Amino acid sequence: MSAPREPLVFAILAVPESTPSTLYGIHDVVGSAGRDWPLITTGQPGPVCIRPIIVSARGERMRIAGETWIEPACSLADCPPPDVVVVPDLAVAPGEELSGRYEAEGRWLRAQSEAGVTLATSCTGALVLAEAGLLDGQEATIHWAYCEAMAARYPRIRVHPNRALVVSGAGQRLVLAGGGSSWHDLALYLVGQFLGIEEAMHVARLHLIDWHQVGQQPYAMLACNRQAGDPVIARCQQWIAEHYDEETPVSAMVQTSGLAERSFKRRFARATGMSPLEYVHTMRLEEAKHLLETGDASVEAIANEVGYEDASFFGRLFRRKVGITPAQYRRRFGELRRALRATRPPVRSAPPAAQLAGSTRQNTALR
């Protein structure tokens, strides 16, 4: 009879900005592998296959995001050799200055990487690896709202904003999950890689976890909410929010600005990060998403409502930008909205596109 295998060590790195839900969620899900499926099916727990331990720079009791106090199992210096290091997400703002904040953690992570340890991150936890230089020249992902800031701050990283999970690096030992609950995908992937697909399926069934097969695109807010500091462009943003039924919105914005067309387009892109045409498209699609979630109008009617006479063009554009078809979007998010509405009194809210920069309407001729 062979001796039982020693549990794999999953070190979960805690820093003051770590969010408790992801930190403990990953701890509980990977820790259940091998142990809990037999418990619920036979009444007897199985062997512990993964030993998750929370580690921090000094191993002392510390307060993390949400005013939550935690007590790590050990310091980085005392951590047993890990098979995997997981960095949960951070409660930081997009573009927040992080220079010098994680120097001790960075040195330790680089040492683990050199030792062949798999490094995994959830959401904004990728910023810790980025600060350590471990993502330079690699593919990565992060929460969709942080992709632009990450790409700008770390230009050597190839950021994939639409993917919920990215595996890259030497030996595929960098595993990065996107935003929100995509840490579920991360946990399942790691269990599958180290313990096999069947065990990953047991964990998925045990915790009712769905794989984010469509990536982050359907969840991302398309409309740019950057308000221009340029007063001329800010005025045009306000104008398009109130005059979305124009047949040629870009030309109309040019006229409103009083600028030459080339100058307007250059200033608009510099101020908002988008071309005027892309800006109009993204606002229209954001409005379409809201209409698909909240009403029963046909896709053709919604296409016309947001400004596209050609419903097939609208469908292709929606699929390219959102990642799924309008009908698929309605099934996924309309059902979710209805389920949430059924559990609480209705709350009035403005359509997302109107909140950010206005709705749009009328015609495919945008220029």
Looking up residue 327, the CATH number of its domain turns out to be: 1.10.10.60
132 in the same domain as 63: yes
CATH number reported for the structural domain that contains residue 61 in this entry: 3.40.50.880
139 within domain boundaries: yes
334 in the same domain as 284: yes
| Counted domains in the chain | 2
* Other beta carbons less than 10 A from residue 111's beta carbon: 11
Residue 102, SS3 per DSSP: coil
C-alpha–C-alpha distance, residues 55 and 58, integer Å: 8
Domain boundary among 219, 250, 267: 219
Helix (H) or strand (E) holding 118: strand 118-122
| Cβ burial, residue 126 (10 Å; 0-12/13-18/19+) | buried
Which one, of 52, 106, 56, lies nearest residue 83 by Cα? Answer: 52
188 in the same domain as 238: no
**Containing domain of residue 249, as a range?**
231-356
Domain boundary among 219, 253, 268: 219
Would you state the pLDDT for residue 113? 96
87 in the same domain as 213: yes
3 within domain boundaries: no
Would you state the pLDDT for residue 1? 42
Q: What share of the chain is helix, strand, coil (3-state, %, to 5)?
A: 50, 10, 40
C-alpha–C-alpha distance, residues 212 and 224, integer Å: 24
Q: Give the pair of three-digit tokens for residue 73.
A: 């199992």
Distances (CA, A) of 58 to 13, 131, 214: 11, 19, 39
Would you state the pLDDT for residue 334? 79
Residue 272, SS3 per DSSP: helix
166 in the same domain as 252: no
Q: What strands, in cross-sheet order, belong to the sheet with 165-168? A: 74-75, 50-56, 8-13, 84-87, 118-122, 174-177, 165-168
329 in the same domain as 262: yes
Which one, of 323, 353, 364, lies nearest residue 223 by Cα? Answer: 353
Dihedral over Cα of 316, 317, 323, 324: its sign: negative
156 in the same domain as 270: no
315 in the same domain as 182: no
Q: From the first residue on, what is the mean pLDDT of each consecutive set of 10 residues in the chain (367 residues)?
A: 76 97 95 94 94 97 95 97 96 93 97 96 96 95 90 93 86 88 88 89 86 57 60 85 76 92 92 86 86 89 90 92 88 72 52 47 44
252 in the same domain as 141: no
Which one, of 4, 86, 115, lies nearest residue 49 by Cα? Answer: 4
Backbone angles phi, psi at 111, to 5 degrees: -65, -40
226 within domain boundaries: no
DSSP 9-44: EEEEE--TTB-HHHHHHHHHHHHTTTTHHHHHHHSS
241 in the same domain as 207: no
Which one, of 226, 236, 206, lies nearest residue 94 by Cα? Answer: 226
